[in-house]
Amino acid sequence: MAIKKVLNYGTESLREPSKEVHKVSKKITDLVRDLFDTMYAQNGVGLAAPQIGVNLRVFVIDTSSNDEPLNPMVFINPKIIKKSGAVISNEGCLSFPQAYTDVIRYKNVMVKALNQHGKPFVLEATDGSLLARAIQHENDHLDGVLFIDHTVNRFETEEVLKKYNLPDLDPDMLIDESELQKELDN
């Protein structure tokens, strides 16, 4: 379909919750194609509709590596229905060009969603895998939450944002991760 412009951090709409998809129509299947085209063109692992300016609960992921065949996955109206454990990982985002920082995530997640044909499915991602982290990262976009809101070290993240001329961290958006921190401390 088309490669779209990825909105950068600082664009207000990235902080807005997305709307449910009521019907998997041609408009939605075209959106899914645009998301994949854009994600692959930018060498991304995932991309959510709000990142290309579409305020709908849709994201795509492909965690395959260079020597593996593509493994495109579509998530429409996703809901994380189970989560456990904790893991710290270094994350980036196509809306934050070149900026990476350590964040805290659930180690295991189970997600329920619709695929590109409107069929429901449930997927479990475990052991802090790239898939488990990507599901959480992209799902957050649908709620107006960004990966920096999960930062392990606010001050390091502020330095990274400054280095890449990105807007400052909003301290009011930081998520209390004390529950996850306890998991890591055990």
Q: What is the pLDDT of residues 26-55, one digit of tens each?
A: 999 999 999 999 999 999 999 999 999 999
Q: Which of 186, 141, 148 is nearest to 48 (CA)?
A: 141
104: number of Cβ within 10 Å: 18
Q: Residue 122: which CATH number?
A: 3.90.45.10
Mean pLDDT of the chain: 95
Is the pLDDT assigned to residue 155 strictly greater than 90?
Answer: yes
Stretch 53-63: mean pLDDT, rounded? 98
Is the pLDDT assigned to residue 1 strictly greater than 80?
Answer: no
Residues recorded for the chain: 186
* Residue 7 is assigned to a structural domain of this protein: no
For residue 108, what pLDDT is reported? 97
Name the catalytic one among 16, 68, 138, 158: 138
- 138 has catalytic annotation: yes
Tell me the CA end-to-end span of the chain in Å, nearest whole number.
Answer: 48
Q: Is 71 in contact with 126 (CB distance < 8 Å)?
A: no
Gap between the Cα atoms of 61 and 47, Å rounded:
7
* Residue 141 is assigned to a structural domain of this protein: yes
* Residue 2 is assigned to a structural domain of this protein: no
Q: What are phi and psi of 24, to 5 degrees?
A: -85, 85
Gap between the Cα atoms of 136 and 59, Å rounded:
11
Place of tokens 């898939």: 131
Partners of 103 in beta bridges: 89, 151
Q: Is 36 in contact with 72 (CB distance < 8 Å)?
A: yes
CA geometry: angle at 143 spanning 149 and 168, to 5°? 35
For residue 148, what pLDDT is reported? 97
* Residue 162 is assigned to a structural domain of this protein: yes
Gap between the Cα atoms of 168 and 143, Å rounded:
20
Our measurement of the distance from residue 141's CA atom to the centroid of its chain's CA atoms, rounded to an integer in Å, reads: 6
Looking at the whole model, is its pTM more than 0.85?
yes
Is the pLDDT assigned to residue 21 strictly greater than 90?
Answer: yes
Considering its fold, how many domains does the chain have in total?
Answer: 1
pLDDT in tens, 92-134: 999 999 999 999 999 999 999 999 999 999 999 999 999 999 9
Domain containing 45 equals 12-185
Is the pLDDT assigned to residue 76 strictly greater than 90?
Answer: yes
* Residue 131 is assigned to a structural domain of this protein: yes
Residue partners of 156: CB distance under 8 A and separation at least 6 = 101, 102
